[in-house]
């Protein structure tokens, strides 16, 4: 029961035939309208809850994984200042650095500090894109565009409209797809594979790579025009060996996050162990440090 419609009369024969049919029709229309209103309110509540969930997830990621951006070393202070600077604009940013330094966290920090923070942040790892499907993943495809395309698909650029798209490992993007990416960056127009429909999108692009893209350009594996389009503001995330003074803070932050995930008490690192950590070159950078601490915590908790 979603509502009640009453019609009063002294004579019980007042409502009959067409009158009764008309009243039933009115009741049906009113019921449908009330049901639609309920559905709309439910959808709005769901959207509000999803927004809260998204914000909670963002806080959780920044709390547990954002340790890579912690530090008071000169290189990290400078990096955070640069992030604040580029976040104010909509220009493309190319985040560079070795594997494991936290390039994706730098991209997250840029988005979180930007005017698009309440809009979508979508991520695509270009290293996982097969050449045959890369164009569909980024720009979408129409029904029947290729064998197996049984239905239309919306690409990441359209899904990120109004927000930010992060292309991780951009140096791995298939060469055949690079011209279309360049066109989207130049015009903002997205054309789905196998269709002639063009949609204008408003997307801020962030990209990251652990490759030297200038060398990739010289070797013919990356387009020079796309490189210059992406490289509006290069942002280098330093390796851990260049910021060893931050290691105690990083390790402490990871230990807190690990303790929360394991449901254990406080995890501390002995001074002698910390000294050994500082003497290690860390080829895997911050990610290697986190993995090592996780292994140590698991072994300790297992007795």
Q: What is the mean pLDDT of each run of 10 residues along the chain (303 residues)?
A: 62 59 60 50 44 45 57 95 94 97 94 94 93 87 70 89 96 95 95 85 97 97 97 96 95 92 88 94 96 92 67
Question: Which pLDDT score is estimated for 22?
Answer: 56
Query: Tens of pLDDT along 260-289?
Result: 988 888 888 999 999 999 999 999 999 999
Question: Which pLDDT score is estimated for 103?
Answer: 96
Question: Which pLDDT score is estimated for 26?
Answer: 61
Which residues have C-beta within 8 Å of that of residue 160, sequence separation ≥ 6?
A: 120, 121, 122, 201, 203
Query: Tens of pLDDT along 97-109?
Result: 999 999 999 999 9
- Give the CATH number of domain 241-301: 1.10.8.60
Write the burial class of residue 1 (CB in 10 Å: 0-12 exposed, 13-18 middle, 19+ buried): exposed
Residue 58 structure tokens: 């963002």
Beta partners for 189? 200
Compute CA distances 91 → 85, 203, 292, whole Å. 11, 10, 37
Residue spans of the domains in the chain: they are 1-64, 68-238, 241-301
Residue 160 structure tokens: 């990120």
Compute CA distances 125 → 28, 121, 176, 206, 300, whole Å. 51, 13, 17, 12, 34
Question: Which pLDDT score is estimated for 303?
Answer: 59
Q: How far apart are the C-alpha atoms of 303 and 22, rounded to whole Å?
A: 78
| ∠ CA 70-76-82, rounded to 5° | 115
- Protein fold of 68-238: Rossmann fold (3.40.50)
Query: Tens of pLDDT along 16-62?
Result: 555 566 566 666 655 555 544 454 454 444 444 444 444 444 454 44
Asked, colleague to colleague, whether 68-238 and 241-301 share their fold, the answer is no
pTM, two decimal places: 0.76
Q: If you compute the radius of gyration of the chain from its CA atoms, what whole number of angstroms results?
A: 27
């Amino acid at each position: 029961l979603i509502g009640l419609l009453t019609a009063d009369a002294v004579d019980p024969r007042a409502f009959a035939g067409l009158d009764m049919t008309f009243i039933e029709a009115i009741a049906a229309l009113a019921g449908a309208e009330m049901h639609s209103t309920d559905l709309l309110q439910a959808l709005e509540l769901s959207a509000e809850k999803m927004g809260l969930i998204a914000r909670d997830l963002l806080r959780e990621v920044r709390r547990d994984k954002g340790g890579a951006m912690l530090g008071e070393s000169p290189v990290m202070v400078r990096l955070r200042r640069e992030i604040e600077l580029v976040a104010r604009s909509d220009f493309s940013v190319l985040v560079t650095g070795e594997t494991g330094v936290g390039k994706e966290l730098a991209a997250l920090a840029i988005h979180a500090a930007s005017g698009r923070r309440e809009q979508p942040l979508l991520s695509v790892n270009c290293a996982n894109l097969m050449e045959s499907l890369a164009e569909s993943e980024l720009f979408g495809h129409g029904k029947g565009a290729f064998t197996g395309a049984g239905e239309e698909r919306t690409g990441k650029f359209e899904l990120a409209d109004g927000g930010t798209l992060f292309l991780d490992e951009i140096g791995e993007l298939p060469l055949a797809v690079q011209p279309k990416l360049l066109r989207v960056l130049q015009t903002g127009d997205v054309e789905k594979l196998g269709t002639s429909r063009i949609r204008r999108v408003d997307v801020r692009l962030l990209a990251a790579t652990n490759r030297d893209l200038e060398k990739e350009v010289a070797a013919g594996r990356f387009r020079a025009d796309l490189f210059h389009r992406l490289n509006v503001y290069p942002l280098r995330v330093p390796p851990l060996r260049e910021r060893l003074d931050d290691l105690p803070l990083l390790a402490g932050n990871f230990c807190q996050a690990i303790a929360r995930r394991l449901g254990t008490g406080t995890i501390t690192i002995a001074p002698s162990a910390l000294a050994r950590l500082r003497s290690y070159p860390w080829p895997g950078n911050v990610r290697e440090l986190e993995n090592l601490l996780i292994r140590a915590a698991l072994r300790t908790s297992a007795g």
